[in-house]
Structure 1
Amino acid sequence: MKFQGLAAGAAAAFTLLSTSSAFAVTEISWWHAMTGANNEVVEQLSKEFNESQGDYKIVPVFKGTYPETLNAGIAAFRAKQPPAIMQVFDVGTGVMMAAEGAVKPVAEILSMGGGTFDKSQYLPGIVAYYSKPDGTMLSFPYNSSSPILYYNKDIFEKAGLDVNNPPKTWPEVWEAARKIKTSGAASCGYTSTWLTWIHLENFASWNDLQYATHENGLADTNVELKFNSPIFVKHFQEIADLAKDGVFRYGGRTSEAKQIFLAGECGIFTESSGGLGDIVKSGMNYGIGQLPYEPDAKGAPQNTTPGGASLWVFGGKSDEEYKGVAEFFKFLSKTDIQARLHQVSGYLPVTLAAYEETKKSGFYDKNPGRETPILQMMGKAPTENSKGVRLVNLPQVRDIQNEEFEKMLAGEQTAQQALDNAVQRGNAAIQQALGN
């Protein structure tokens, strides 16, 4: 702290400095994208940390959707006014990794606070996704998720479907969705958030299919997209046909479809496990099932890949701020905090200890289906096709995919044309981003 224009003597200056230091609290800004029940969790965790000590104050700031938050962070960095912590969704991992010098690795941050990051204590799939090829952990796993199937039990009962047996394969989903529509149990059978994440990226990993070369970008950045093979085309053409018949209803590119499901308009819904909080809060009589798989895929089901987000730390902050960030990350790593975050939100328990504690407490026995997203991700050792997708410009590639899907759903092109266009345009965008 600099004090200018002080004319008082040394004793008075010492008194002033001592008094200021005694009450000085270092504020740490945390930009995030959480809404609804998940925003309440962010506010509560920040409040608990702030009350647990008197040196640092976490100030959570909602910045919009995941893409909006990422764009806000990039703009703030360019203006040299970034937050200390920013929540970045999985798609932005490649973007953040490419911004050398803009961020500080989480391991470095924790060491500044006298701690270490023990990767062995975290779920392996999550650690691998947020690390560099050399194993350096770059960001702090906060709200990791896996896509799962939700269904409205009351609608299932009206349609004559088994309320205790949700569909396990995509053909079973299509059949149940058509029955919901034709029976009049609901105005639509099926809807989904995040078509790019659930129906492309996780469709690839869950069915052990190649999305792109070089382990989907985890082994090398110069990748070629490959998701226009026949099995992908078949899947998306089935969605297009359902949309034409009014059985599938498109809500939007991100999580907009959640409101369609919560309103009781559709009986089946695929969404992040992190969307559970709002579904529970709605009072709906719901059920949970695994993410459906494609029975024609030889390796299915394989494993899903983590979605959600992690916490990145920007460079250019003071050592005192970094010490505060380290303390906050240590707070978030506590077993009881991680277990509670998992249980109230539907996000995965990112530490093994939190998972074991939750299991030991009988939580999964009392809440059927809540272990499903964890088992999906941990069920099998990842293959080259199922470690996740990491592109230098994945948000841009997703925008391209969404543009082509929306034309397909509007009846302007076939699934083959949509995927061919998305691959061609996506590959060109990747090369441009690489400067080739």
Structure 2
Amino acid sequence: MKIHRLFSVPNLARTLSLASVFTFAGMPQVYAATDIQVWHSLNEHNAGVFEKLVKQFNRDQDDVKVTVKAFDTNNAIESALAESAKSKKTPNLVQLDNNRNPDAIAQRHYIQPLYSLLAKYPIKDAKWFVSPDAGFMRDGKGRMLALPYMVEVPVMFYNVSAFKKAGIVPAQPQRSWPGLQDQLVNLANKATRNCPLVTDEPVSINLENLAAVNNQRYVAVETVAVHSNSKGKKAKVKTKVEPAFIFDSVYVKHLSLMISWVRSELMLKPDQEGVAVKRFANNECAVLMSDSSHLGAFRDKNVLDFGVSGLPYYPEVTSKPGNPFVDGAGFWTTSGHSAAEDKATAQFLAWLSQTKNAATWYQNTGYLPLTQQAFNSTDASYYKNLGDWRNLVAVYANPQVLTSRSFNVSNYPQIRAMFHQQLDRALNGQEPAVPTLSAASAEADHLMQAK
């Protein structure tokens, strides 16, 4: 092959070298974006809100690219997370449910507590909304273990049209359990015979927050004796403090009332498969007791005229209702990633915390605000047709009393599942209130001790 002298090998190399200098001298250098992965198990509506925010973040800047992976349930996330940890390919951010023992999650070898990440890459100017003493996703020192992004509270949704049809004025539920019962009878006779009331959260409504809303302790504290025997020495007796579930007469009275409501068809048998929420959204039910995180989806239903109220209480137990426990999930950061990925993760969290983005999340989901700025920037018109929603939210920015602070119990997910089984038996008419609650308390003590 004949090579022209102008493009001989040495000259060609010099030509390419000079070309590269002239080419890049006048052009900005292109850097590859840092990729981070986020896993979540949000419901369909809230997933849409979140993924729209992610797309906006990816458009707003070129340094970080966020990829989202959705799961059906938190259990599915936990299984996938355990497998990814074995291969050291964990996502950068993962949604994990509140297990009432966040320190145990923080101690997993692949988890990086959020306060550790934020020590390197602070989120400036953000004033977190939920009071630290509520204990949500924080350790014993008050340090933030995860971003409290999916914080919800149990509420009473009510169908305004059904209350009007029944002639109830004002068209809203009473806050006392006896008063609500009278209204449900009226609703059953005149408006919603097939579904006066329904819930998909029987443990939250009838056990956990029965205590909190009535300003009672849900988890009692007991002092127990511990005997230690050493060879050749006299046995020593020490004491230690342990949590305990003591379901007193208030619980017995309430569960007996709920059993009677199911028997008389004032309340449908509890459901955890989403049917209760769908029935309320379709105007079939007058009252739904469930998590506030459904609020955004309900607002998108133009045919649904609804309001939001607090859970009922017993006036003979407390003169003023207390605040339910905050619950939900948070975004946990994982360890083992490069410094560039950690910085990119913090950049994404800081963007979610910006007032506009945090307000969009709050206003379109029903989760509590991430920041005080997001709450303050929300116009009064947003709350116009939402009943008492603003007041129910506002109280969580204030210091919480002891009975509304998050409780810390080992193996609580297993305990909660057991409580649900026990309540299901009672509400199906298979067991009276007293033996149901006694069995639940005894089994909870056993599960708390399990390793």
Rounded Cα–Cα distance in structure 2 between residues aligned with 1:406 and 1:138:
34
Rounded Cα–Cα distance in structure 2 between residues aligned with 1:99 and 1:222:
22
Query: Given that residues 292 and 367 in structure 2 are in contact (C-alpha distance below 8 angstroms), is that contact kept between their aligned partners in structure 1?
Result: yes
Matching residue of 1:41: 49
Greater mean alpha carbon deviation, residues 75-84 or residues 104-113: 75-84
Rounded Cα–Cα distance in structure 1 between residues aligned with 2:391 and 2:206:
18
Matching residue of 1:334: 354
Matching residue of 1:424: 442
Matching residue of 2:293: 274
Of 425, 430, 435 in structure 2, the residue corresponding to residue 412 of structure 1 is 430
Secondary structure of the corresponding residue to residue 233 of structure 1: helix
Shift of 1:423: 1.4
Of 278, 292, 295 in structure 2, the residue corresponding to residue 259 of structure 1 is 278
Rounded Cα–Cα distance in structure 2 between residues aligned with 1:69 and 1:92:
18
Distance 1:287-1:348 versus aligned 2 partners, 3 A rule: same
Per-residue CA shift, 1:155-197, capped at 9, x if unaligned? 2122222253322122222222222223353312111122222
Of 137, 150, 167 in structure 1, the residue corresponding to residue 144 of structure 2 is 137
Report % sequence identity: 24
Shift of 1:327: 0.4
Q: How many correspondences in the alignment? A: 411
Matching residue of 2:6: none
Per-residue CA shift, 1:191-238, capped at 9, x if unaligned? 1122222332222222111211359xxxxx974332411111211221
Query: Does 2:187 correspond to 1:180?
Result: yes
Query: Does 2:327 correspond to 1:307?
Result: yes
Shift of 1:96: 4.6
Secondary structure of the corresponding residue to residue 390 of structure 1: coil
Pairing of 1:30-429 with structure 2 (within 5 A) = 30-78=38-86, 80-91=88-99, 93-94=101-102, 96-97=104-105, 99-113=107-121, 115-116=122-123, 121-125=128-132, 128-183=135-190, 185-214=192-221, 223-253=242-272, 255-283=274-302, 284-298=304-318, 300-359=320-379, 362-365=381-384, 367-378=386-397, 381-429=399-447
Shift of 1:23: 4.8
Rounded Cα–Cα distance in structure 2 between residues aligned with 1:357 and 1:182:
43
Query: Given that residues 129 and 396 in structure 2 are in contact (C-alpha distance below 8 angstroms), is that contact kept between their aligned partners in structure 1?
Result: no
Q: Supply the RMSD in Å over aligned alpha carbons.
A: 2.9
Q: TM-score, normalised by structure 2?
A: 0.83
Rounded Cα–Cα distance in structure 2 between residues aligned with 1:174 and 1:253:
23
Distance 1:22-1:87 versus aligned 2 partners, 3 A rule: same
Shift of 1:404: 0.6
Per-residue CA shift, 1:78-128, capped at 9, x if unaligned? 554432211122236537536343311212212333x25778543215763
Shift of 1:365: 4.9
Shift of 1:247: 1.7
Query: Given that residues 123 and 350 in structure 2 are in contact (C-alpha distance below 8 angstroms), is that contact kept between their aligned partners in structure 1?
Result: no
Any gaps of 5 or more consecutive residues in structure 1?
1-8, 216-220
Any gaps of 5 or more consecutive residues in structure 2?
1-12, 223-239
Query: Given that residues 58 and 64 in structure 2 are in contact (C-alpha distance below 8 angstroms), is that contact kept between their aligned partners in structure 1?
Result: yes
Greater mean alpha carbon deviation, residues 164-173 or residues 124-133: 124-133
Rounded Cα–Cα distance in structure 1 between residues aligned with 2:242 and 2:68:
36
Which one-letter code corresponds to 1:411 in the other structure?
G
Matching residue of 2:231: none
Rounded Cα–Cα distance in structure 2 between residues aligned with 1:69 and 1:52:
29
Distance 1:417-1:375 versus aligned 2 partners, 3 A rule: farther
Which one-letter code corresponds to 1:431 in the other structure?
Q
Query: Given that residues 70 and 92 in structure 1 are in contact (C-alpha distance below 8 angstroms), is that contact kept between their aligned partners in structure 2?
Result: no
Secondary structure of the corresponding residue to residue 91 of structure 1: coil
Rounded Cα–Cα distance in structure 1 between residues aligned with 2:202 and 2:395:
19
Distance 1:415-1:70 versus aligned 2 partners, 3 A rule: farther
Question: Could you say which structure has the larger radius of gyration?
Answer: 2
Distance 1:228-1:92 versus aligned 2 partners, 3 A rule: closer
